[in-house]
Amino acid sequence: MRFHENEEAVSPVIGVILMVAITVILAAVIAVFVFGMTDNVETTKTVAVTAKVSDDDVLITFQGGPDAAKVSTLNATVYDAAGALANGTDSYGNMSTPIVGDTSIIKGVATADGQERVLVTATFNDGTKQVILDKFV
Protein backbone atom coordinates (compact mmCIF):
# COMPACT_ATOMS: atom_id res chain seq x y z
CA MET A 1 0.00 0.00 0.00
CA ARG A 2 1.32 3.33 -0.99
CA PHE A 3 0.49 6.60 0.83
CA HIS A 4 0.11 9.91 -0.93
CA GLU A 5 2.78 12.30 0.30
CA ASN A 6 2.25 16.06 0.30
CA GLU A 7 5.53 17.85 -0.20
CA GLU A 8 4.25 21.42 0.29
CA ALA A 9 5.77 23.12 3.36
CA VAL A 10 2.86 25.50 4.12
CA SER A 11 -0.78 25.21 3.17
CA PRO A 12 -2.27 27.98 0.96
CA VAL A 13 -4.60 29.13 3.79
CA ILE A 14 -1.70 29.75 6.17
CA GLY A 15 0.14 31.60 3.38
CA VAL A 16 -2.80 33.97 2.90
CA ILE A 17 -3.05 34.57 6.65
CA LEU A 18 0.66 35.41 6.82
CA MET A 19 0.35 37.88 3.91
CA VAL A 20 -2.59 39.64 5.58
CA ALA A 21 -0.69 39.83 8.88
CA ILE A 22 2.36 41.37 7.17
CA THR A 23 0.11 43.94 5.43
CA VAL A 24 -1.55 44.92 8.73
CA ILE A 25 1.80 45.30 10.50
CA LEU A 26 3.17 47.40 7.64
CA ALA A 27 0.08 49.65 7.72
CA ALA A 28 0.47 50.07 11.50
CA VAL A 29 4.12 51.11 11.15
CA ILE A 30 3.24 53.67 8.47
CA ALA A 31 0.38 55.03 10.61
CA VAL A 32 2.74 55.53 13.56
CA PHE A 33 5.03 57.68 11.43
CA VAL A 34 2.22 59.65 9.80
CA PHE A 35 0.25 60.38 12.98
CA GLY A 36 3.42 60.91 15.01
CA MET A 37 4.23 64.00 12.94
CA THR A 38 1.34 66.03 14.37
CA ASP A 39 3.40 67.33 17.30
CA ASN A 40 3.54 70.84 15.84
CA VAL A 41 -0.26 71.31 15.78
CA GLU A 42 -1.34 74.19 18.02
CA THR A 43 -3.62 73.36 20.89
CA THR A 44 -6.70 75.43 21.58
CA LYS A 45 -6.82 77.48 24.71
CA THR A 46 -9.73 77.27 27.14
CA VAL A 47 -11.34 80.57 28.11
CA ALA A 48 -15.00 81.27 28.89
CA VAL A 49 -17.03 84.35 27.98
CA THR A 50 -20.78 84.95 28.19
CA ALA A 51 -22.97 87.36 26.25
CA LYS A 52 -26.47 88.51 27.10
CA VAL A 53 -28.90 91.26 26.13
CA SER A 54 -29.95 93.91 28.62
CA ASP A 55 -32.48 96.38 27.19
CA ASP A 56 -30.83 97.42 23.91
CA ASP A 57 -27.26 96.70 25.07
CA VAL A 58 -25.15 93.57 24.80
CA LEU A 59 -23.13 92.63 27.88
CA ILE A 60 -19.95 90.56 27.44
CA THR A 61 -18.61 89.03 30.68
CA PHE A 62 -15.21 87.36 31.04
CA GLN A 63 -15.65 84.12 33.00
CA GLY A 64 -12.01 82.98 33.10
CA GLY A 65 -10.79 79.43 32.56
CA PRO A 66 -7.51 77.50 32.67
CA ASP A 67 -5.87 79.88 30.18
CA ALA A 68 -7.38 83.12 31.56
CA ALA A 69 -4.01 84.51 32.65
CA LYS A 70 -2.73 84.20 29.07
CA VAL A 71 -5.41 86.52 27.60
CA SER A 72 -4.06 89.94 26.64
CA THR A 73 -7.14 91.31 24.83
CA LEU A 74 -10.77 90.37 24.20
CA ASN A 75 -12.52 91.81 21.15
CA ALA A 76 -16.31 91.56 20.79
CA THR A 77 -18.26 92.38 17.65
CA VAL A 78 -22.05 92.44 17.31
CA TYR A 79 -23.76 91.78 13.97
CA ASP A 80 -27.44 92.29 13.17
CA ALA A 81 -29.78 89.68 11.64
CA ALA A 82 -28.59 90.58 8.11
CA GLY A 83 -24.95 89.97 9.04
CA ALA A 84 -23.93 93.64 9.01
CA LEU A 85 -22.40 95.43 11.95
CA ALA A 86 -25.22 96.27 14.35
CA ASN A 87 -26.54 99.82 13.91
CA GLY A 88 -24.17 100.27 10.97
CA THR A 89 -21.33 101.20 13.29
CA ASP A 90 -18.30 99.42 14.61
CA SER A 91 -19.93 97.58 17.47
CA TYR A 92 -16.89 96.61 19.47
CA GLY A 93 -16.40 95.83 23.10
CA ASN A 94 -12.68 95.59 23.87
CA MET A 95 -11.09 94.46 27.11
CA SER A 96 -7.34 94.68 27.68
CA THR A 97 -5.89 92.14 30.13
CA PRO A 98 -9.33 91.15 31.43
CA ILE A 99 -9.88 89.89 34.94
CA VAL A 100 -12.50 87.27 35.77
CA GLY A 101 -15.84 89.05 36.13
CA ASP A 102 -14.97 92.02 33.90
CA THR A 103 -17.91 93.13 31.76
CA SER A 104 -17.92 95.12 28.54
CA ILE A 105 -21.16 96.84 27.53
CA ILE A 106 -21.84 97.43 23.84
CA LYS A 107 -24.57 100.06 23.88
CA GLY A 108 -27.59 100.36 21.58
CA VAL A 109 -26.98 97.32 19.38
CA ALA A 110 -29.70 94.88 20.49
CA THR A 111 -33.00 95.08 18.64
CA ALA A 112 -34.71 91.69 19.01
CA ASP A 113 -33.96 88.63 21.13
CA GLY A 114 -31.95 86.03 19.29
CA GLN A 115 -31.26 88.23 16.26
CA GLU A 116 -27.84 89.66 17.15
CA ARG A 117 -24.74 87.57 16.55
CA VAL A 118 -21.94 88.13 19.05
CA LEU A 119 -18.42 87.15 18.03
CA VAL A 120 -15.71 87.34 20.69
CA THR A 121 -12.05 86.71 19.89
CA ALA A 122 -9.19 86.53 22.36
CA THR A 123 -5.61 87.55 21.69
CA PHE A 124 -3.17 85.67 23.89
CA ASN A 125 0.25 86.64 25.23
CA ASP A 126 1.96 84.43 22.65
CA GLY A 127 0.31 86.40 19.82
CA THR A 128 -2.25 83.76 18.83
CA LYS A 129 -5.90 84.66 18.27
CA GLN A 130 -8.86 82.38 18.86
CA VAL A 131 -12.63 82.69 18.62
CA ILE A 132 -13.97 81.97 22.09
CA LEU A 133 -17.65 82.84 21.61
CA ASP A 134 -19.88 82.87 18.53
CA LYS A 135 -23.57 82.90 19.40
CA PHE A 136 -26.88 84.64 18.85
CA VAL A 137 -28.33 86.64 21.75
Res 132: pLDDT:
95
Distance of alpha carbon 57 from alpha carbon 65, whole angstroms? 25
Which domains does the chain possess? 48-136 (2.60.40.10)
| pTM given for the model | 0.66
Q: One digit per residue, pLDDT tens: the chain, 137 residues?
A: 666 666 666 678 888 899 999 999 999 988 888 877 666 667 889 999 999 988 888 889 999 999 999 999 998 888 887 777 766 655 567 788 888 999 888 887 877 667 888 999 999 999 999 999 999 98
Name beta bridge partners: 1.
none
